[in-house]
Structure 1
Amino acid sequence: MNEPNNLLNIGIPLQRASQDTSRPNGHGYKLIDLCKNSNLYLVNGRVGEDRGIGQPTCKGSSVIDYAIASFTVLERILKFKVNEFEPLFSDIHNPLTMRLNIHTASGKHHAVINNELTPRKWNTKEAKHYSENINKETVNDINVILNELCEHFSKEKLNGAVERIGTLFVDTAADTFGYTQARVRARHKRENTRNKAWFGNHCRTLRRKYTEARSAYKQRKTPDNKQRLLNASKSYRNVIRKYVNKHNWKTEQRLTELSQHDTHGFWKLLKEKQDPTLPPLNTLYDYFKNINSSDDNTTEEKDPSFNIDFEDTTMLNESILQEEILAVVKNLKNNKACGIDQIINEYIKQTIGCMVPVYVKLFNLCLNMASFLIRG
């Protein structure tokens, strides 16, 4: 790795433990080269409960299931574990469990996320007051920072300036429109498999036997209990497959019968089976019918602006002009959801008069220094 000292600084060993004594094949060497060239690290045998162990992940003898992470992700791993083999979900592979420590990004002051105070929705009637409430001193301070960065560039200061822009927008929105309590969205309830039409008494019986076998194996990991778990999971998986296929076959037979004798019942059954999140069939039919139709009598006129010489890269290196930024901002659509920074298009459009000099300096600074912003 190019930065081995980073691992030592956070207490992660350079040498990865592994109980797999077999020699890597061609795919294994390719994986190692990929990690070396991309500054990635194999998590197995380095952190969590697998630290210094390198537990096998396949057939109890080899490690072929890996978790791969960059250094930034690696230092945020709170837990890593190679779980016990679960025959219901895989034939030979052990599942991996990994828990990360992730901090939710939020702006300063009023910009708070997750069930706390956030700015109210955009109000067109108050739009004029929003642009008036923009703190001009803060805008001037950002301009000064960008001017200093042109002489002495620092990526940290650049990201700090961008964060101040986001905070300025959100704070102004909170001062203009007031605050509201962010509502926590209810989690989508997982559909219970036992409520399926095909889940009958036989499935319930084998499910209970599988649960008992799994509990017994967790308490006492003996060869007999392991074989009992394998048999129970195999029986449960096979009966589920059998009942699902049987249910699908009955549905097909019913659809065939209804299409011949009861057209009304046929379409009623189709509507019941249709996923509500999918578009109607007639909408898809009209869409593909229109895109595949062409009028031979019409000739397409080519826009001369698209005659680009791809060998000439001078256009890509030209400075970004104020007129280009104004044109892009003008085409931003209203009533669009914000990102994690809570900035909506209306904030940008309403303040373009005082902020466009900042954008010109900021974008050209990123272009000239070939620096990408971490957050905006």
Structure 2
Amino acid sequence: MIYFEQEYGNDCTFIMCGDLNARVGIKPDYAVYENKHILDMLPDDYVMDDAIERNSQDKTVNDYGKILLDFCISTGLRIVNGRCGTDKGIGKFTCVNTQGCSVVDYVLCKSDVLKLFKTFEIYDPNIVSDHCVISFSLNMHTLDNFVDVKNKGDHVKLLYKYKWDDSKKDLYMNVLSSEENTIHFESLCGNILLSNSHEDLDLNVKTFTDILDGVCKPIFKHNLHSNFFNQNHNKDGVYFDHECKNLKNYYYTSLNYYRNNHCDDTRRDMVAARSNYKKCVRNKKYDYDKLQTHKLELARKNNAKLFWKMLKGSVVGNASSLSSDDF
């Protein structure tokens, strides 16, 4: 972070996110100026921190939290939790387990980036992890898409991609160095030298991309079949039986009780239901994998054709389209 700031100055910013195991409560993540005499001693070009209100359901501060607060004050990063989106003024718990509820998962950014957050949401507890999903989006200045896409719901589906082919390397080099493209690149270099605004730079980047797109599309374009996106993936494995299904349903019932009544009893019931469900699924998967390995061993010894068929089926997977809501 220090390297990039020294290298690019104000032309770069940072967004950090993850499980930091830090509990900061509602303590300020910016420098608090309480002593007027200290203010008088600061240099004239000193930039004071802005006091930005933040709330949190977690009022506890641990040692890692103190380190995180010091880090924020020294770097100018600010905690987004409790300041943006549907979490503004709330600071929802991000971890719910047997020990209780806490805020240990954070998104950090510079204070001037806070205004760019379009959405920020902390989801309810889920069946996969003790930690809640954090979802956010930012308002950004973007160029027009260079690749044709189809919109389906909130997802953007690409119709094609570029796939490198070593056998076409010489063709690619010849087209790239053709007289027509040489003229385009020389013109682009002149425009770059004359650039004096962000808009000019954006236009030059788009021009460069258009040149490469015109070269690569006829050579490396690879269409993506529609069934690549429309496969009905089975989210639950073949080992997922009625016992797993019943425990899963019970977890969601417990989760609804917890949503309607946030107390220690409902939290413990919900966490226990999640633990029982995950333990059951792990055991079922372990037994299934053990059985498949045994079948694979038998096929290797007795049926080579079946062995290779099973082996191929075990390594070929489908693309995943798991959304944050499904998670």
The one-letter amino acid paired with 1:253 is H
Which ranges in structure 2 are unaligned for 5 or more consecutive residues?
1-29, 32-45, 151-157, 161-170, 319-327
- Taking the aligned partners of 2:212 and 2:305, their CA distance within structure 1 comes to 55
Larger radius of gyration: 1
Shift in Å at residue 247 of structure 1?
0.8
Shift in Å at residue 66 of structure 1?
0.9
Shift in Å at residue 157 of structure 1?
7.2
Q: Residue 235 of structure 2 corresponds to which residue in structure 1?
A: 193
Deviations along 1:262-298, one digit per CA (max 9) or x if unpaired, are: 15266235424431379xxxxxxxxxxxxxxxxxxxx
Q: Does 1:51 align with 2:94?
A: no
- Taking the aligned partners of 1:62 and 1:271, their CA distance within structure 2 comes to 45
By percentage of residues, which structure has more strand?
2
The one-letter amino acid paired with 1:42 is I
Q: 1:190 to 1:228 in 2, by over 3 A?
A: farther
Which ranges in structure 1 are unaligned for 5 or more consecutive residues?
119-123, 279-376
Structure 1 segments of 4+ aligned residues over 6 angstroms from their partners: 4-8, 133-136, 138-142, 170-173, 182-185
Q: Does 1:114 align with 2:149?
A: yes
Shift in Å at residue 237 of structure 1?
1.8
* Number of corresponding residues: 254
Q: 1:38 to 1:113 in 2, by over 3 A?
A: farther
* Contact 1:193/1:199, CA 8 A, preserved across alignment: no
Q: 1:97 to 1:131 in 2, by over 3 A?
A: same
Q: Does 1:90 align with 2:137?
A: no
- Taking the aligned partners of 2:284 and 2:121, their CA distance within structure 1 comes to 34
Q: 1:57 to 1:188 in 2, by over 3 A?
A: same
- Taking the aligned partners of 1:271 and 1:171, their CA distance within structure 2 comes to 39
Q: Does 1:20 align with 2:62?
A: no
- Taking the aligned partners of 2:47 and 2:230, their CA distance within structure 1 comes to 43
The one-letter amino acid paired with 2:84 is V
In structure 1, the residue corresponding to 2:229 is in which secondary structure? coil
Normalised to the residue count of structure 2, the TM-score between the two structures is 0.55
RMSD: 5.2
* Contact 2:188/2:208, CA 8 A, preserved across alignment: no
In structure 1, the residue corresponding to 2:119 is in which secondary structure? strand
Normalised to the residue count of structure 1, the TM-score between the two structures is 0.49
The one-letter amino acid paired with 2:128 is F
Q: Residue 296 of structure 2 corresponds to which residue in structure 1?
A: 255
Q: Does 1:99 align with 2:137?
A: yes
* Contact 2:86/2:121, CA 8 A, preserved across alignment: yes
Deviations along 1:180-221, one digit per CA (max 9) or x if unpaired, are: xx9896536463233x22112222232333334434544x32
Q: Percent identity?
A: 22
Q: 1:265 to 1:20 in 2, by over 3 A?
A: same
- Taking the aligned partners of 1:61 and 1:163, their CA distance within structure 2 comes to 47
